[in-house]
């Protein structure tokens, strides 16, 4: 069964450092998403991406965040200067179309900022 793959599974970084979280969506999917979940809290939407541009972003997704699809397979989330409060599980998801369809989630990257 096709799956969304995320790497690394766990990343520890120093406050102020840049991190890049990587995702390989399902190959025929066109819509891509990042969500995050702070420990013990809800899953929160960050950004959606389609046709090489951001479709929607939440208030969380400020100038410190960026997304990119550098080639035909990878989808990345960059945090420019990490803060302690960026510590969370980050989930990538993809779907074949925008509506009336399921989104497939990866297993997540646990980001710990120290």
Partner 1 sequence: DAKTTQPPSMDCAEGRAANLPCNHSTISGNEYVYWYRQIHSQGPQYIIHGLKNNETNEMASLIITEDRKSSTLILPHATLRDTAVYYCIVRVENTGTASKLTFGTGTRLQVTL
Given 17, 55, 73, 112, the residue binding partner 1 (CB under 8 A): 55
Beta-carbon contacts of residue 90 (< 8 Å; ≥ 6 apart): 6, 21, 34, 35, 36, 46, 77, 108, 109, 110, 111
Q: Which two tokens stand for residue 39?
A: 């420990």
Residue 16 CB, shortest distance to partner 1, in Å, is 26
Q: Does 8 bind partner 1 (CB under 8 A)?
A: no
Give the tokens for residue 45: 């939407």
Mark residue 11 as left, alpha or beta (left: phi above 0; alpha: psi -120 to 50; beta: remaining): beta
The distance of Cα 81 from the centroid of its chain, to the nearest Å, equals 16
Binding partner 1 (rule: CB under 8 A), the pick from 29, 48, 79, 82 is 48
Q: Kindly tell me which of 6 and 82 has the beta carbon lying closer to partner 1.
A: 6
**Cα–Cα distance between 100 and 87 in angstroms, integer?**
32
Does 25 sit near partner 1 (CB under 8 A)?
Answer: no
Minimum distance, C-beta of residue 32 to partner 1, in the bound complex (Å)? 11
Q: Which stretch binds partner 1 (CB under 8 A): 9-17, 67-75, 79-87, 104-112?
A: 104-112
- Binding mask 59-78 toward partner 1 (x if CB under 8 A, else -) reads --------------------
Q: What is the DSSP letter of 15?
A: T
9 binds partner 1 (CB under 8 A): no
* Residue 37 interacting with partner 1 (CB under 8 A): yes
């Amino acid at each position: 069964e096709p799956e969304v793959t995320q790497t690394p599974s766990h990343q520890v970084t120093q406050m102020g450092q840049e991190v890049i979280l990587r995702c390989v969506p399902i190959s025929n999917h066109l819509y891509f998403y990042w969500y995050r979940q702070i420990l013990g809290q809800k899953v929160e939407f960050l950004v959606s991406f389609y046709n090489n541009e951001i479709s929607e972003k939440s208030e969380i997704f400020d100038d410190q965040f960026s997304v990119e699809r550098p080639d035909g397979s990878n989808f990345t989330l960059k945090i420019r200067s990490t803060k302690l409060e960026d510590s969370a599980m980050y989930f990538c998801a993809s779907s074949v179309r925008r509506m009336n369809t399921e989104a497939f989630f990866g297993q997540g990257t646990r980001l710990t900022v120290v």
